[in-house]
Structure 1
Amino acid sequence: MTARLGTGEQPGRLKAGVVGVPAMVFMVVAATAPLTAMSSNIALSLGMGAGPAVVLVMVLTGALLAVFAAGYLVLARYVTSAGAYQAFVAFGLGRRAGGSVAFVATLAYTLAAGGMVAATGYFTGLAVSALTGIDLPWWLYAIGALLLTAALGVRGVEIAQRVTTAVSVLQFGIIALLAVAVLVQRPEGWLNAGTLSPTAALGPGLALTLVFCLLSFAGFEATAAYGEETHAPGRSITVATYAALGLLLGVFVLGTWTLVAAFDDVRTSAADDPGALVLTAADRYLGPWSGPLLGVLIAISFLAAAVAFHNLAIRYLFTLGRDGMLPTALARTHGRYQTPYVGCMVVTVAAVVMLTPFVVAGADPLVNLFPAVSGITSISLIGLMTGCCVSVVVARLRGTVTGSAWSTLVAPVMAGAGLLGILVVIASNYAEVTGSDSPVIAAMPLVVLVAGLAGAVAAGRREERG
């Protein structure tokens, strides 16, 4: 059934030509902003994962993604869609596989957006407490963050890209400043033997570290997801993807190594209070002035990440509505901004539903919510990326794509094998990843399977309707 459009509403079209390569790069960077990752993913990995060897795991993760990108970008030459992974998988494997991917991606990005909103509330509370002494519940700040995220989602990427670019540049500056300060004041800390130790990297905590290292690049799809809103999408997506990957890898390795070098025993310091690790390092090496400033910047960086994931989620809902796999009302775009505002409202409501149980239970958003959400999100992203690897190989064998053997066969097979290996490690150590042995938490990955099956069924029904 086709829903009626109200006055001024536009169906099925996003505003073209508003996103350039720099904006695409910074939307990727914003989704897993360096300070965001250092204060959550990396801090948790240092404390509960591989310790100093997180540096090596991060390097290997970046290398795997570079190999993956070779095949991924082959598909970007042939397909342009706001639901990038969906379209890429459907190109080689058919509509049903694409529908499955779309539902899983929507789930992953919606959860990630909610998790980032919660983290924004948590770190805003820390910043306000440090500056004023006022101590309020994190969820009050999260409500404000959610409303602002929704408003920016309706307003569109034109303003969102300005916010995320400014925040990203500030983060690069503070991380570089902290790295120089640690290098000058504690140069011996950079010689920690554990940072590049394969033995330490493969030891206890590897599964959790893999999850958080992968999630540090979770906004990887954003370059292709904004293809409909940029000029010359094929070339723009290629340049933006490699630029974002290289920039993020460099900053993450530098930032992680800086934290390792800053402490005598980074594992113990991170385990004691992961949320305060970056603030403690800044206070120690940059001076007391830096702590409050950095606290505010971290909170803003989490907000930028929430905006980035929120935008990815609503674009998938838009695509599913446009393709007829979900109610067509989701394909409505705002009369003035040409943004998928209906999907924006859906993702906002989903965040409220997701966060309410954690608020009622009095759970810690960083220690309890983050790992639970991250486990599902990481499994989802591995599935989506593996699907792209299979898709490009099948498309090459069918002759529907052309390119070098490296980009169409060797790289996708290598990347797919690596991703599946990571999935096995995560699945076999899921209790370690989530920090819970609860049967309910252990069963949560089944939600990914249900979403995938629902997507395949929805796509099949759409195919039958023609």
Structure 2
Amino acid sequence: MTARTETGVDVGRLKKGVVGAPGMVFMVVAATAPLTAMSSNISLSLGMGVGPAVVLVMLLTGLLLAVFAVGYLVLARYVTCAGAYQAFVAFGLGRAAAGGVAFVAMLAYTLAAGGMVAAAGYFTGLAVSSVTGADLPWWPYAVGALLVTGLLGVRGVEVAQRVTTVVSVLQFGIIALLALAVLVERPEGWANPLVLSPSAALGPGLALTFVFCLLSFGGFEATAAYGEETDAPVRSITVATYAALGLLLGVFVVGTWALVAAFDDVRAAALENPGALVLVAADRYLGPWSGPLLGVLIAVSFLAAAVAFHNLAIRYLFTLGRDGLLPRALARTHGRYQTPYVGCVVVTVVAVALLAPFVVLGADPLVNLFPAVSGITSISLIGMMTACCVSVVVASVRGAVTGSVWSTRVAPAVAGGGLLAVLVLIVANYAEVTGSDSPVIAATPAVVLVAAVAGAIAARGSRGLEEGK
């Protein structure tokens, strides 16, 4: 279904009723890629952060996000938009702030989609090599991953959610199996007194641990981003938000605790090789068969993350086209599937442009690309969430929302303060967060700032992004 704007360009509508709360949950889970988070953020926290007390910090992170969700869901009662954070910020802070958020989201999600495609190709190559012995470069697999993400983007979330659900359940299954094996073979490891020790959590490395734990919950926006495509937006978004948070928190707490229990000294094991920590634990407690399986699951988890971020990126492009901040052709939808197919083409082309130099130069995308993507994405996500918290409070002061003082002022103020502190920690520890000390990578936060300023300028000259739209 399409509508015609005053400029004569057809603007589409997203298909209604194709996703419900369960689908939203697994699109969030896919973006976090739990198995890869365990192998990266959490393993790094165990080695470079507070060690076994990562479990307690993870619980505190879940509490912070639960408090954030209170104000986030207040805005979800008033605003339904494929560009969720953008619309939430517009509701309380106005057009310019929303434009800045929209451009930052577009940048972050588009780069994340490209980065995840590269990672999917890279780890697929490793998985194929471990199983068959074939040693092919990463980029043919990345091309395949890119085709899959593009096709699923055109086909719509109705199909994409099925793919991400299967991948997510497989990840949960292997993490649960590992935890059970550790419990059976080394039950005494679960009694480590440092796991829930406040004094251990407050030790050196707390800042870095908190940052990595929070980044393990990336993709939080996906619940609200599909509001236009569900029949009961408020109910579905509310159920999906808390279900996704609870599910991920449970998986991360159990999985992290299992890693702590699996080793005599998990900090030393993680410092030695954080990327191999999960593989070493699986090999020891599940057997040699688990290594190739984990390799495959890590590869497909990156593919699922690419699908999730691709879908978020194209919905922002659709919204920006509909609001006139970018060419309105981006708001066209597929005649059969009612999906933002023009945005699919754009995000796919950007991914090709992003990855092509690494193919031509023979450079490693994980070493040279992933640090920049992770840095930009982390700053963008935390910055947008902080802006949403401020928007709730301002909307409450203006009388634009109703609700308890807790839900409209106290909770968003507390969450906003916590998120702002994490944002400062990310900037202060940027080399550790990105895993790179390159001056080029260190300068990438400026890209986020430029995007925000460009979006604010574009929004001021547009008639879209009306407050409360």
TM-score by length of 2: 0.93
Aligned to 1:127: 127
1:216: which partner in 2?
216
Q: Which deviations, in whole Å up to 9, do the C-alpha atoms of 1:138-167 show, x marking residues without a partner? A: 233222111211111111111101111111
> 1:205 deviation in Å?
4.2
**Deviations, residues 77-118 of structure 1 (Å, cap 9, x unaligned):** 000000000000000111111111111111111122122112
Q: Matches of 1:196 and 1:296 in 2, distance apart? A: 33
Report how far residue 277 of structure 1 moved. Answer: 2.6
CA positional deviation for 1:176: 1.1
Alignment CA distance shift 1:277-1:59 (3 Å):
same
Q: Residue in 1 aligned with 2:260?
A: 260
- Structure 1 residue aligned with 2:144: 144
TM-score using structure 1 length: 0.93
Rounded to whole Å, the distance in 1 between the matches of 2:349 and 2:44 is 28
Q: The residue matched to 2:134 in structure 1 has which SS? A: coil
In structure 2, do the counterparts of structure 1 residues 361 and 206 end up closer, same or farther at CA, with 3 Å as the change threshold?
farther
Q: Indicate the residue corresponding to 1:383 in structure 2.
A: 383
User: Which segment drifts farther, 321-330 or 121-130?
Assistant: 121-130
Q: Distance in 2 between matches of 1:201 and 1:306?
A: 33
Residues 183-216 of structure 1, C-alpha deviations (whole Å, 9 max, x = no match): 1111222233443344544445444433332222
Range 255-264 or range 64-73, more displaced: 255-264
What is the distance in 2 between the residues matched to 1:338 and 1:133? 43
Q: Which residue of 2 aligns with 1:406?
A: 406
**TM superposition shift of 1:367:** 5.1
TM-superposed deviation, 1:36? 2.5
Q: What is the rounded CA distance, in whole Å, between the counterparts of 1:2 and 1:162 in structure 2?
A: 38
Q: What is the CA distance between 1:303 and its match in structure 2?
A: 0.7
Counterpart for residue 21 of structure 1: 21
Q: Give the C-alpha shift of residue 182 in structure 1.
A: 0.5
Gaps of 5+ in 1: none
Match of 1:283 in 2: 283
1:315 corresponding residue in structure 2: 315
Q: Secondary structure at the match of 1:11?
A: strand
Offset at 1:55?
2.0
Query: What is aligned with 1:243?
Result: 243
Q: Distance in 2 between matches of 1:232 and 1:206?
A: 40
- The residue type equivalent to 1:147 in the other structure is L
- 227-236 vs 194-203, greater mean Cα deviation: 194-203
Structure 1 residue 310: Cα displacement: 0.7
The 1:158–1:267 alpha-carbon spacing in structure 2 relative to 1, beyond 3 Å, is same
In structure 2, relative to structure 1, the CA distance for the partners of 1:289 and 1:2 (3 Å cut) is farther
Distance 1:272 1:81, change over 3 A: same
Per-residue CA deviation, residues 248-280 of structure 1 (Å, 9 max, x unaligned), is: 111011111112222233334334443333222
Sequence identity, in percent?
81
- CA offset at residue 308 of structure 1? 0.5
Instruction: Tell me the residue number matched to 1:190.
Output: 190
What RMSD, in angstroms, separates the aligned Cα atoms of the two structures? 2.2
Aligned equivalent of 1:162: 162
8 A Cα contact 1:102 1:316, kept in partner: yes
Q: Alignment length, in residue pairs?
A: 462
Displacement of 1:174: 1.6
Residue number in structure 2 paired with 1:92: 92
Q: Shift of residue 2 of structure 1?
A: 7.9
Partner residue of 1:53?
A: 53
2-side partners of 1:101 and 1:273: how far apart? 37
Structure 2 distance, partners of 1:246, 1:253, is 10
Amino acid at match of 2:276: A
- Partners of 1:30 and 1:308 within 8 A in 2: yes
Find out whether 1:326 has 2:326 as its counterpart.
yes
d(CA) in 2 for partners of 1:41, 1:106 = 24
Deviations 1:212-244 (A, max 9, x none): 322221111111000000011011111110111
Q: Which residue of 2 aligns with 1:73?
A: 73
Q: Which moved more, 1:110-119 or 1:204-213?
A: 204-213
CA-CA distance at 1:37 after TM superposition? 1.5
Between the aligned partners of 1:169 and 1:465, the Cα distance in structure 2 is 38
Give the C-alpha shift of residue 415 in structure 1.
0.4
Provide closer, same or farther for how the CA distance between residues 257 and 438 of structure 1 changes in structure 2, counting only shifts above 3 A: same
The amino acid that maps onto 1:171 is: Q
8 A contact 1:56–1:195 mirrored in 2: yes
Residues 46 and 270, structure 1, Cα contact 8 Å, conserved in 2: yes
Find the aligned partners of 1:70 and 1:354 in 2 and give their Cα distance: 37
CA–CA distance in structure 2, aligned partners of residues 167 and 88 of structure 1: 30
Contact kept in structure 1, 2:28 and 2:219, CA below 8 Å: yes
Q: Decide whether aligned partners of structure 1 residues 128 and 4 sit closer, same or farther in structure 2, where only a CA change above 3 A counts.
A: farther
Write out per-residue CA displacement over residues 311-346 of structure 1, whole angstroms, 9 at most, x where no aligned residue. 001100100000000011111111111111111111
